[in-house]
Structure 1
Amino acid sequence: MEHADFVTHFRTQVDALHAAAAAAGPDAPVPTCPGWTVKDLVDHVGRVHSWVLNALDTPPDDATPRPDERPGAWEDLLPWWLTRARELADALAGTTSNTPAWTFSPTERTYGFWARRQAHETAIHRLDAEHALHGDEVPSLLFDTDLAADGVDEFLTLMLPRQLSRRPVAREGRLVFHAADAGRAWELRLTPGQPAGVGPIQDAATDADATVAGTADALYRAVWARPSGAITSGDRSLLDGLPRP
C-alpha cells in the first residue's frame, strides 16, 4: 500500500469511529476494552492523534513529544478529537512519505510511518466503537482486504516485537497465519529470550503448533485480540498469550 492509501484509510476510519461513538454515546461501555466507556475511548484516540500531530513537528532525534490536554466534557471532547484527527490527516496528506519526523521506531522516522500506524490505530478503535454500539452484532466484514492484511503484517512485524521486548513470552511455538482472501500468509516463531521471528512460511503449515485462518479482516481482529471469526487450530494459547499494547 502507498502513503496516500494509508491516509485515505485513516480518514475513512476516523469518520466511521466518530459516527459509531456519537451514536453509542459517552457512557456506553466498550466491551473490547474492559473498564472503558466510549468517552474513555475517544479521550484515548484524541490523546494519540494530538500526540502524533506534535510528533510530525518534532525532529527525529528530539525528545519524545507530548500530547495535548483534552477537554473534559463529552460535548467538547468529541468535536475536539475530530478536528485534531482531520488536521492530522491533512498534515500527512500534505507531504511525502519520507518526510522526517519523530517516531518510536528506531529505524523508520518518517511521515509514512505515522500514516500506516494511525490508519491501523484508528481502525482497531473504530472496531471498539462498533462493539460499544452494536455489541456482538458487528458485521464480520468491516475492513478493506488490503488494509486488514497490512494490519496483520504491521502487528506481527512492528507492534508485537515492541511488546515482546517489554513482556517476553515464556513459551516456544510456531504459529501460522493465513488470510486466504488476501493471498498472504505469515509464520511467527516464538522462542523464550529471543526476538520473535516473522516471515514467509518455511515448511508445511501442518507442522505449526497453531494455525489461524480466515479472511484478512478476521485475522486482523484476532491478532489484536478482538472478537473474530478466524478459525484457530492447534494450541490456541499461543495466540491468546501474545502481548498486545
Structure 2
Amino acid sequence: MRNCPKWTTHDLVTHLTTLLSSTVAAITDRPAEPLAAVDWPDTLGRWDGQRLAVREALRLPADTPTRPPSPGTWLLTVGDWTRRLAHETAIHRLDAESALAEPPSTRFGDAFAVDGIEEFLTCFVPRRVADRDGVVRLEAGERTWTVVLRSDEAPEPAEDGVPDLTIAGSPDDVYRALWGRPHAARVVGQVSLLEPLAAP
C-alpha cells in the first residue's frame, strides 16, 4: 500500500479486525477474541464476524460507559467508540484504496473531517509527550485550532498564539495531514513539530 509501505492489505484487515474485537470487549466487558488468522478465508471470516459483533454492541445507548482501553486510562462511552471506529475506518479506507492501481478520488465531507480533527486532538494528542517547544495552528475551512507544545509535557490546546507551524486547507486535507496521509493542505513553518502529534 502506498500510504503504509510496511503494511500489506492482510495486515490492514487484521489491524481493523483487532480494533473491532477490542471495541466489542470494552463494551461488553469481556476478553477480546484472540486473532491468529493466517490465510485469507480465515482472515475475512474473522473480519466479518467482528463486524457483526460490533454492530450489535454499538446498539447500546451512546452514553453507556464502557471498560477503559487499558488500566488507568480515560473512560469511554459507546458513543466515543462509535466515533473512534468511524475515523479509524475512514483513514484506513484511504490506505486500502492506495493499494489499487487507480485509487478513487475519495473525499470526506466537511462536518465529518472537522469531527475527525477534533477527535484526533482530544483522543490522541493528550496522550503524547512533546520533545520540543512550539505552537501548531490548524486552519480547516472556517475552523481554527491552536496546540501548544512544551518539552516533556502533553500538548495542550490554546486560544491563540504565534504559530511556528501552520497547516491550512480544506477540512478533508487537514484531517489527512494530521493522520500523516497524502493531502493538499498548505504546510508552513517547522514541519518537525508534527512529529510529537503523529498518529499511532
Return the TM-score normalized by structure 2.
Answer: 0.89
Deviation, 1:73, is 1.4
Report if aligned partners of 1:48, 1:67 keep a CA contact under 8 Å in 2.
no
Q: What code does the residue aligned with 1:38 have? A: T
Deviation, 1:138, is 4.8
Q: Structure 1 residue 39 and structure 2 residue 5: aligned?
A: no
Report if aligned partners of 1:103, 1:110 keep a CA contact under 8 Å in 2.
no
CA distance in 2, matches of 1:89, 1:196: 34
1:159 to 124, 127, 130: 124
Structure number with the higher helix fraction is 1
Runs of 4+ residues deviating >6 angstroms: none
Report if aligned partners of 1:103, 1:113 keep a CA contact under 8 Å in 2.
no
CA deviation profile, 1:90-137 (whole Å, cap 9, x unmatched): 321x221111211328443321121111111111111110111246x5
* Aligned position for 1:73: 39
* Aligned position for 1:149: 114
Report if aligned partners of 2:17, 2:47 keep a CA contact under 8 Å in 1.
yes
Unaligned runs of 5+ in 1: 1-29, 60-64
Q: Structure 1 residue 170 and structure 2 residue 128: aligned?
A: no
CA distance in 2, matches of 1:39, 1:98: 34
CA distance in 1, matches of 2:149, 2:101: 35
Unaligned runs of 5+ in 2: none
SS of 2:35 mapped into structure 1 = coil
Report if aligned partners of 1:57, 1:101 keep a CA contact under 8 Å in 2.
yes
CA distance in 2, matches of 1:188, 1:159: 13
Q: What code does the residue aligned with 2:189 have? A: G
CA distance in 2, matches of 1:114, 1:185: 25
CA distance in 1, matches of 2:195, 2:185: 13
CA distance in 1, matches of 2:28, 2:5: 34
CA distance in 2, matches of 1:86, 1:144: 26
Report if aligned partners of 2:66, 2:75 keep a CA contact under 8 Å in 1.
no
What does 1:32-181 correspond to in 2, within 5 Å? 32-58=3-29, 65-92=31-58, 94-104=59-69, 106-134=73-101, 137-139=103-105, 141-162=106-127, 164=128, 168-180=129-141
CA distance in 2, matches of 1:67, 1:33: 26
Report if aligned partners of 2:137, 2:147 keep a CA contact under 8 Å in 1.
yes
Q: What code does the residue aligned with 2:60 have? A: T
CA distance in 1, matches of 2:63, 2:190: 41
* Aligned position for 2:182: 227
Report if aligned partners of 1:177, 1:213 keep a CA contact under 8 Å in 2.
yes
Return the TM-score normalized by structure 1.
Answer: 0.74
SS of 1:133 mapped into structure 2 = coil
Larger RCO, structures 1/2 (Cα 8 Å, 6+ apart): 1
CA deviation profile, 1:52-92 (whole Å, cap 9, x unmatched): 11211118xxxxx4343243211231243033123312321
What number of residue pairs does the alignment pair up? 198
In 2 relative to 1, CA 86–149 (structure 1 residues): closer, same or farther, beyond 3 Å?
A: farther
In 2 relative to 1, CA 191–184 (structure 1 residues): closer, same or farther, beyond 3 Å?
A: same
